[in-house]
A = this chain, B = another copy of it.
Amino acid sequence: MTKLKMAMVGGGPGAFIGPVHRIAAELDGRIALAAGAFSSDAARSKEAGERYRIDAARAYSDLNALIAAETQRPDGVDFLAIVTPNHLHLPAARAALKAGLPVISDKPATATLNEALELRRIVRAAGKPYALTYTYSGYPLVREARARIAAGALGTVRKVVVEYPQGWLAAEATGKQAEWRVDPARSGLGGCIGDIGVHAFHLAEFVTGLTVTELLADLAAVVPGRLLDDDCTVLLRFDNGARGVLMASQISVGERNGLRLRVYGERGGIDWRQESPNSFVLHHGDGRTEIVKAGDATLGPDAQAASRTPGGHPEGYLEAFANLYADFAKLLRGEAAPLLPGIDDGVRSMAFIATAVEASRSGAGWTPLLIPGE
């Protein structure tokens, strides 16, 4: 058994998410980073390659060059991981898929809905695996919550509250991470809604198994002079009639990464928090309150397969991320990975962002969330 070989585009010096993808990909010992176009600046790409300890010859400054060279090598890479800013997601995915390379991409799928629709066509035409790293769907307890709801533990879902408060953009944005997020040219239409609101959207659909059919959006650019939203509230209707509230904010001073999901059904409730991800509260219909914890013998196969340590040994963000790569490795081996987000999640997400931005801008009230067909 040899390892799958990964190429990365993006993730040069100073990047946050590139090293995260590298760690996540390699965590389970089944994938190895082997090549990269880490930066369009050759020196910087080379520097990154050294830090990643890959063969210097395989640190490219251009994705097309990478694809051309790697697809020729007998030991060429098996897939491409895309960790660039959002506006480069589509061209990178297109180039890889057209060359027959599977793709795993950081979210969102693309910078705009139209791009996402184009990418959907490309993915379908290519017939190669394409995955999106909606990280939070990789947490074992998130997968357990999904499994329990699917098994009817709550009865019919009636109410969903998903929130994602952060505070780091409460003041003027400074630093590489902040600056591109508040720049429409690099982030796309949405600021906060596209950066983190879309995580909340995906999580809510992922865990409940429902789909949002309508929304009412109230997005604001709170910090004076900001061009993109930094605080969002979106009311949701799901396909079964359930109601939802989605809150995302980057001006909530003191909040780090407070993603939290509460789902209430006819006869139970679930409450999960990203910052203490190894448990959730399970409200039983008879009034009992249970804390379901990672490692519990009662956990189902999805959560167990996504855990590496016994109960009480905390796993975190990197391990959740690694679970997505583990799923992706399954896809590459021809196995099923039904929990792994793909291009349809990407299109839904971009439609969510586009619809929310437009509905808020126009003050349209309740607006259908329409997913364009083929």
Contact = CB atoms under 8 A, between A and B. Distances in A.
A84 interface: no
Interface in A258-300: 258, 262, 264-269, 271, 274-278, 281, 283-293, 295-298
A253 B235 contact: no
A3 interface: yes
A250 to B, nearest CB: 11
A297 B291 contact: no
Range class of the A interface residue count: 35 or more
A1 B50 contact: yes
Copies in the complex: 4
Contact of A298 (B52, B167, B288): B288
A275 B314 contact: yes
Interface in A50-78: 50-53
A257 interface: yes
A103 interface: no
Given A265-B253, A288-B298, A363-B365, A312 B166 contact: yes
Contacts of A278: 275, 316
A308 B318 contact: yes
Nearest to A258: B312
Nearest to A284: B254
17 contacts: A1-B50, A1-B53, A23-B27, A26-B29, A167-B283, A170-B267, A171-B266, A233-B243, A245-B247, A253-B267, A254-B284, A254-B287, A255-B283, A289-B290, A309-B316, A309-B318, A316-B316
